[in-house]
Amino acid sequence: MLVPQLINGLTQGSLYALIAIGFVIIFGTMNLVTFAHGEVYMAGAFVGAFAMSLWHLPWFVALVMGMAAAWVLGFLIEKVAFRPLRTAGHMPPLLITIGLSIILKDLAVVLFGAENRPVPSIYEQTVRLAGVQVSVLQLVILGLAGTLFLVLRLVIQGTKIGRAMRATAQDHEAASAMGVNVNRVFSIAFALASCLGGAAGVMIGIYYNAVYPTMGGTAGLKGFAACIFGGLTSIPGAILGGIIIGVVENLTVQFLASGYRDVVAFLVMVIVLVLRPQGLLGRKLKTV
Amino acid sequence: MKTKMVPMLLTLFTLLLVAAPVAWSAEPIHIAVSAPLTGNFAEYGQNWQKAISMAVEWINAAGGIKGRPLEIVYGDSKSDPKDSAALAQKFTSDNRIVAEIGDFSSTASMAAQPIYDRAGMVQLSPTTSHPKWAPGSPWSFGIVGTQAGEGPFMARYAIERLGKKRIAVLHINNDWGIASKEYFVNAATEMGAQVLGVESYFETEKDFTGVLTKLRGLKPELIYVPSFYNEMALISKQREKLGWTDVVVMGPGSLYSPKLLELGGNSVNGLYTSAVFFPNDPRPEVQKFVKGFEAKYKATPNMFAGVAYDAINLMAETIRKVGTDRKAIRDELVKTKNFPGVTGKIAFTERRDVVKDYRHLVVKDGQFTLFDK
């Protein structure tokens, strides 16, 4: 049962990683933390769930819609909570995102109800790979997460906006002096981060067959943990952090009991951070 | 006086239309109902109210109790222990009231228990299932059954009816889930089954892939899952996705809800469960109740309506036998051995609760059906 548990952990971990990357992009470029990221993920999940269960759209259309909705929501949050307070320091935007997180969550309760909303199943079959039965859906999710990691890397390393993001991450003022429109970079970075969160939301909804208004809470926390674990500003670090948390959780279920999954996962994180405060792949210099 | 005249006149009027005219020459008999008519549990209280009003209508249409009409005094407890205790004071000091039905939750019933006990009035709860409730006072009665009865019933279902001997358990980690698991595991072990593993999950859990993978490694023939419909739907779907199909899934009556079918879809087909009340039960008393309820309220009655209907009918039957003395009602109620309720036969144990007859159910083609093999 070890290999299936590793696959369970890898699938779950890759979704944590998508959320964690969002925190990395936002922290890397803007040097700020958002607490509304979990709710953006929830919103994406709901849009995806509605697309599939009410409008009967194929899952990839639902995924694109969830990502688009999260993009728009992220764009708006940046405009409302961050843009006007650029010079106000760290605390006011942080508090605003806490407020936004509560507003979005309660709004979802009022609009959609507090209960689980079912999400239709896709890819219910399994395949045998080297003698191990593997769920097709898990392979699809792993493939999608991997694709998104690659696309993100190409965007950041190979495009003009990616270069602008990296420049802004190193020094806002210098980048601005070199003609980079910093406001636009912040907007796009925030929206891009939210979009990845939305993708994770839609995939989690499909994977566990349920979306619910409070789903952003633990997911946001795990994503944030994975981001710090990985080194706060390192995308490969966030991916590694997310996957380690996912795998440790599932191995804990296998060898201890399901109640201990978060205990052990966070214990491992605490130990690593005590020994290596900059995180797994963190550097002193803040870059994306 | 005026407010009481209106329902009386209405009742008279309907009776004139329906049957031979009955003129109430005698005073009505009053029974109190303490129920959550508003608040979080309002839906349950309203189900009670519907079932009880219908039963009272039928009793009075058939001539009442020895010529006296039955009248219900409702009190809204919100199933809050403060309110249920205050209502108990009010009801017990009202000399017209002969007995009380309620409350909904164990907590609310047990808060009012000492007051009914001191005053010497029967407190018959349709839904209180705490094993310590009925033994707490000689005036307390419970008719919904307790985990101590359901656990062994489910174990017999798994082992004797389905012939499964290798069993694993996955339960929700709260008071109810733990009690549920213990009664089942003890009974199953006594019956010679092998309990291979017991796993639990917290109420907020959504990811069951890890724990299912672990249980699968133990190769059980049956997994027993004391849980509620929300988690059961997720567990079933995730189990199916992992390709674990060579196992039988069973859970207690908490799963018996249309919501399970809606959320679980195809994945809950073949799931075994139980119910104390099953609307498609062919027994005539059940069909009379279900047809009457559907005609009156345009909805199928649920278990909560069923137990309330049984409570009022049992009370009316007892009063018919011994009259309206509070003590006499209690002494007669204790002797109840064979009352044909819609939620099964009611026979009080010496603890004044009941061992329910559960129905064996299985989900077939997306519907709950009676298992009759």
Do A199 and A226 meet the contact criterion of CB atoms below 8 Å apart?
Answer: no
Question: Looking at beta carbons, which residues of chain A come within 8 Å of B214?
Answer: 1, 5, 253-254
Closest to B213 (Cβ–Cβ): which among A1, A116, A209? A1
Tell me if A286 sits within 8 A of A26, measured CB to CB.
no
pLDDT tens figures, A212-227: 998 998 899 999 999 9
Between chains, do B265 and A8 touch, taking CB under 8 Å as contact? no
| Least confident residue range of A7-11, A274-278, B286-290 | A274-278
Look at residue B8 in the predicted model and tell me its pLDDT. Answer: 59
Note the pLDDT tens digit of each residue in A232-257.
888 999 999 999 999 999 999 999 88
The chain B residues in contact with chain A (CB within 8 A) are: 173, 199-202, 204-207, 209-211, 213-214, 216-217, 230, 233-234, 237-238, 240-243, 262-263, 265, 267
| Cβ distance of B243 and A133 shorter than 8 Å | yes
Whether B210 and A249 lie within 8 Å, measured CB to CB: yes
- pTM score of the predicted model: 0.76
Contact (CB<8Å) A5/B210: yes
Residue A111 DSSP SS3: helix
| Residue A146 touches chain B, beta carbons under 8 Å | no
Give the start-to-end residue ranges of the domains of chain A: 2-275
Report pLDDT for B270: 93
Give yes or no for A131 touching B (CB within 8 A): no
- CB contact set of A163 (below 8 Å; sequence gap of 6+): none
Q: Which residue has the tokens 């420049």?
A: A167
**In terms of CA atoms, which chain A residue is nearest residue B209?**
A8
**What residues 245-284 of chain A have any CB closer than 8 A to a CB of chain B?**
249-250, 253-254, 257-259, 261
* Statement: residue A206 has pLDDT above 80: yes
List pLDDT tens digits, range B5-14: 666 555 545 5
A252 Cα to chain B: minimum distance (Å):
9
Query: What pLDDT score was predicted for residue A125?
Result: 84
Query: What is the CATH class of A2-275?
Result: mainly alpha
Using the predicted structure, report yes or no on whether residue A43 has a pLDDT greater than 80. yes
Cβ of residue A176 closer than 8 Å to a chain B Cβ: no
Q: Among all chains, which residue has been given the structure tokens 């900059």?
A: A278
pLDDT at residue A4 is higher than 70:
yes
C-beta atoms of A1 and B262 within 8 A = no
Predicted confidence at residue B21, as pLDDT, reads 43
Average pLDDT of chain A, as a whole number = 89
Predicted local confidence at residue A25, as pLDDT: 93
Say yes or no for a CB contact (<8 Å) between B204 and A124: no
Nearest to A8 among B200, B209, B243 (CB): B209
Query: Mean pLDDT for each 10-residue chunk of chain B (373 residues)?
Result: 56 48 75 90 88 96 93 93 95 96 90 96 91 91 88 93 94 84 94 93 86 93 91 92 92 85 89 91 93 93 93 96 95 94 92 88 92 78
Domains and CATH numbers, chain B: 2-145+282-346 (3.40.50.2300), 148-275 (3.40.50.2300)
- ipTM of predicted complex: 0.82
What pLDDT is stored for residue B15 in this prediction? Answer: 47
Question: Is B234 close to A209, i.e. CB distance below 8 A?
Answer: yes
Residue A73 pLDDT greater than 90, yes or no? yes
What pLDDT, on a 0 to 100 scale, did the predictor assign at position A172?
84
In this prediction, residue B20 carries a pLDDT of 45
CA distance A88 to chain B (A): 37
Interface test with B, best of A207, A253, A255, A261 (most B CBs within 10 A): A253
Lowest mean pLDDT across A21-35, A49-63, B21-35: B21-35
